[in-house]
Amino acid sequence: MVERVTLSLLQSLRVGPSPKIAIVGAGGKTTLLFKLAAEFAGPVLITTTTHFGRWQLKNVNQRLFLDENAELNVKELDIHNAKLISVTGKPTVDKRLSHLNNHALEQLKTFAENNSLPLLIEADGSRQKPIKAPSATEPVIPEWADLVCALAGMEVLGKPNNEGFVHRPERFKELTGCMLDQTISATHMVKLLSHEEGGLKNIPKHARRVVVLNQADNLAVQALAEPIAEALLSCYDTVLVTKLKGKLNGVKQAYQRIAAVILAGGASHRYGQPKQLLTWNGKPFIRWCVEASIQAGLDPVIVVLGANAEAIRPALTNLPVKIVDNPDWDEGQSSSLRVGVQSLPPETGAAIFLLADQPQVTPELLNKMKSEHARSLAKIIAPTVDGRRTTPTLFDRSTFEELQKLLGDSGGRQLFSQYQPRYFEYNDHRLALDIDQPEDYQRFLRMMENGG
């Protein structure tokens, strides 16, 4: 299989033109900083709250060194001619560049804001190890950072917890339960990165949280990263799987929180009774849809009710769902879609929209859609059966604003001409069946009994 890079760091991190990004952890912080800096179109400011090695700044266009207590003279920053500008303390005897004093750092932040420039801060040290446990004084993250990237190197998996691979193995043991010289597992990595004294340490409450699982240098390692990423989405906004060095380097997958929106507001006029409450194997259709969404790890699961809401509501008893009512359900499917989008949490990366009369949608299909999104961050993702597009449909968060402008009964299909959908073939003919008439329901039951 040919490995292809499709995602940029800026696209994956969903940052604007002038973020303030702190980078912590181990396994490629400086490499990430410079690759990220290179993706911005204009000048980028670089600094550290710990230290750089002087050799790490060889590709910087302008290097400004300040004395320990000096103020920053912003007029010295050549933002009109230099692409990369580093501002640090002066070199020490071991050729390291120390951090700025607090006042100079605040001056640099203010200058970045006033000129709409990105400011990238290396806020941790790791002694070139693939993973680390922070000390009592680390990491040093400015409270005004609006995005924090916590790194860990995938190459540590299968390696022993010792000084050869871990910065502070004793502390790593305390945070993860991994004994000295014990083999480090994916579980240990998740424990470290999700610990308030580990990967989450000192991240400002308002800042977006991102994990970067670096050194995922081949498809096998990238596959190992997927369950780690899924586990970390409970406490991070995004998890990136990256290969930052060598050929074909870049972001391999970008995992984000994906919600389910189940559209159940229609009156089923053509059928003659609420299709949401038709049963298969003794269970209402809508409950099948909700349970599949839960089993696939979609979160939150939102059900939009409209017509027959009170009759449908009992079918959702004891399910961890958010039920929202659409008073304008008779305006068409787009009205329920708009209500669903408005109910999504702000950290949602994408939403899969399901119809409540499709109990044949499986957790496997929903997980496939999640994986397609992680690999592509495509605006729209949908399955096809024998080349025919079917539902459900995934919409990336970048489409949410447009979704809220839709009118009529055709729903999200109105955006298919605006954004090029990403299709994938799915080998389950049951998915293509629409239930509009009682004879369709009987055909569905026969298909399900016969396995498709």
Total domains in the chain come to 2
For position 451, what pLDDT does the model report?
Answer: 67
For position 191, what pLDDT does the model report?
Answer: 98
236, 256, 276 - which closes a domain: 256
204 occurs within a structural domain:
yes
Strand partners, 59: none
209 with 200: CB under 8 angstroms?
yes
ω before 204 within 30° of 0 (cis)?
Answer: no
Ramachandran bin of 14, using left for φ above 0, alpha for ψ from -120 to 50, beta for the remaining angles: left
For position 218, what pLDDT does the model report?
Answer: 93
Nearest CA among 345, 355, 337, 305 for reference residue 406? 337
289 occurs within a structural domain:
yes
Q: Which residue in the block uniquely carries the two structure tokens 């990595």?
A: 189
Shared domain for 39 and 103, answered yes or no, is yes
pLDDT tens-digit profile of 13-71? 999 889 999 999 999 999 999 999 999 999 999 999 998 888 888 889 999 999 988 99
For position 6, what pLDDT does the model report?
Answer: 67
For position 449, what pLDDT does the model report?
Answer: 82
For position 4, what pLDDT does the model report?
Answer: 52
Nearest CA among 199, 244, 204 for reference residue 39? 244
68 occurs within a structural domain:
yes
pLDDT tens-digit profile of 111-122? 999 999 999 999
pTM of the model: 0.92
Shared domain for 330 and 433, answered yes or no, is yes
Q: Is 450 exposed, middle or buried (0-12, 13-18, 19+ CB in 10 A)?
A: exposed
For position 61, what pLDDT does the model report?
Answer: 94
Shared domain for 331 and 297, answered yes or no, is yes
- DSSP-assigned letters across all residues of 217-276: -SHHHHHHHHHHHHHHTTT-SEEEEEE-SSTT-EEEEEEE-EEEEEEE----TTTSS-GG
Range of the domain at 190: 9-256
| Residues 397, 381: Cα–Cα separation, whole Å | 12
341 occurs within a structural domain:
yes
pLDDT tens-digit profile of 171-193? 999 999 999 999 999 999 999 99
| Residues 284, 264: Cα–Cα separation, whole Å | 12
230, 256, 282 - which closes a domain: 256
Token representation of residue 441 = 């329901």
1 occurs within a structural domain:
no
State which residues of the chain have pLDDT below 50. 1-3, 5
For position 429, what pLDDT does the model report?
Answer: 86
Report CA 239 to chain centroid distance, whole Å.
5
SS3 2: coil
Shared domain for 272 and 242, answered yes or no, is no
Say which residues have a Cβ less than 8 Å from residue 398's Cβ, sequence separation at least 6: 379
CATH classification at residue 373: 3.90.550.10
